[in-house]
Amino acid sequence: MRIALMAHDKPGALQTRIDNRDAHLAYIADTGVVEMAGPLLNADEAMCGSLIILDVADMAAAQNWADNDPYNKAGLFASVTLTAWKKVIG
């Protein structure tokens, strides 16, 4: 099952994102369930959130992945949503 994780950073949290980026990317590599991922950008093209497509067994697995993401553990996000997603193109 594919799940779209959409996260928006807390205002002024760019340094938190930068400080935890290596751990976040290592977590993505280690878990092996991320199909696509990348940062959201604000009007100044600075990172301000994340869009991650997970390929997991169920919503509980997606929630577990989100809970253990180093970005989440560092308190980076103001909000996180998980939504079932169907790939049609790409």
Angle subtended at Cα 82 by Cα 44 and Cα 17, rounded to the nearest 5 degrees: 40
Band of the pLDDT at 87, cuts 50, 70, 90?
very high
Q: Is the pLDDT of residue 51 over 90?
A: yes
Residues paired with 34 in a beta bridge? 54
Tell me the domain boundaries of the chain.
2-84
Predicted pLDDT at 41: 96
The number of beta carbons lying within 10 Å of the beta carbon of residue 55 is: 16
The model's pTM: 0.93
Predicted pLDDT at 34: 98
And the tokens for 23?
Answer: 């751990």
Predicted pLDDT at 90: 83
Looking at 1.10.1740.10, 3.30.70.1060, 3.40.190.150, 3.60.9.10, the CATH number of the domain 2-84 comes to: 3.30.70.1060
Chain segment 9-41, per-residue pLDDT in tens: 999 999 999 999 999 999 999 999 999 999 999
